[in-house]
Amino acid sequence: MKNAMVKRVILCLIIFLSASVGMTQQDVYREPYRPQFHFSPICGWMNDPNGMVYYNGEYHLFYQYSPLVSRGAMHWGHALSRDLVHWQPLPIALYPDDIGPIWSGSAVVDANNTSGLVPGGGLVAIFSYENQSQGIAYSRNDGRTWTKYAGIRSFRRWREISATPRSSGTTPPAYGRWCWRRVTRYSFTPHPT
């Protein structure tokens, strides 16, 4: 079993490295069993789409991703498109850290910097870790690189909430602050500020 896993990792690395050197995305999409209208990474394991936003003429897709093996430590993969048919894979957006692997979440456009994280506008990602705590990351360069917000390493862990933080819309409330909701089993409860 361990030997098979090592072979799979080596094969995936070879495919990934050769794809990044000699293959174009068009070459990858000529593979016989690869979906033609849905994004799929060149190599690795892909799961739930998370943050999907339109910003500055580009559609961004973030998704759970394990780059080397099936169901390894979760990252957030990232791809973009101008037409929702042709996709360009981008470098991994969010990596696991000392809190743990990155799981589900959402992304929003913060055009007016209401979060205080993206002067001039940008993208904000709200995500959960494997241990159900939540985090925030932001991008000031059209989603090309991401910084995890260091002001709060992770929100308080709520045992009764959904694993997926959700944001509603792209415009914060009129009073100019961001509101977080925790989701209990049967109702939405505003998070105390």
Q: What CA–CA distances, in Å, run from 37 to 8, 81, 83, 85, 161?
A: 26, 11, 11, 5, 34
pTM, full prediction:
0.70
Q: Check: CB of residue 110 under 8 Å from CB of residue 118.
A: yes
The CA distance from 50 to 55, in Å, is 16
Look at strands 134-139 and 88-94 and give their pairing: unpaired
The CA distance from 65 to 51, in Å, is 13
**27 is known as an active-site residue:** no
Helix (H, G, I), strand (E, B) or coil at 152: coil
In angstroms and rounded to an integer, the radius of gyration of the C-alpha atoms of the chain is: 18
135 forms bridges with which residues in the sheet? Answer: 127
Q: What is the mean pLDDT of the chain?
A: 75
46 forms bridges with which residues in the sheet? Answer: 65
Read off the tokens for 84. 């929702």
Q: Where are the domains of the chain?
A: 2-190
Terminal CA-to-CA distance of the chain, rounded, Å? 49
Using CB atoms within 10 Å of the CB of residue 1, give its burial: 0 to 12 exposed, 13 to 18 middle, 19+ buried.
Answer: exposed
The CA distance from 152 to 79, in Å, is 27
**pLDDT range class, residue 90, cuts 50, 70, 90:** very high
The confidence score (pLDDT) of residue 151 equals 66
The confidence score (pLDDT) of residue 110 equals 93
Q: Indicate the range of 31-35, 71-75, 87-91, 117-121 predicted with least confidence.
A: 31-35
The segment with the largest mean pLDDT, out of 89-98, 154-163, 166-175, is 89-98
Q: To which CATH superfamily is domain 2-190 assigned? A: Glycosyl hydrolase domain; family 43 (2.115.10.20)
State which amino acid sits at residue 74.
Answer: M
Read off the tokens for 152. 């709060």
The confidence score (pLDDT) of residue 73 equals 86
**pLDDT range class, residue 133, cuts 50, 70, 90:** confident
- Percent of the chain surpassing pLDDT 70: 62
The confidence score (pLDDT) of residue 9 equals 58
Residue 180: how many CB atoms within 10 A of its CB?
Answer: 15
Dihedral angle at the C-alpha atoms of 130, 131, 134, 140, nearest 10 degrees? Answer: -40
Pick the catalytic residue from 27, 48, 83, 142: 48
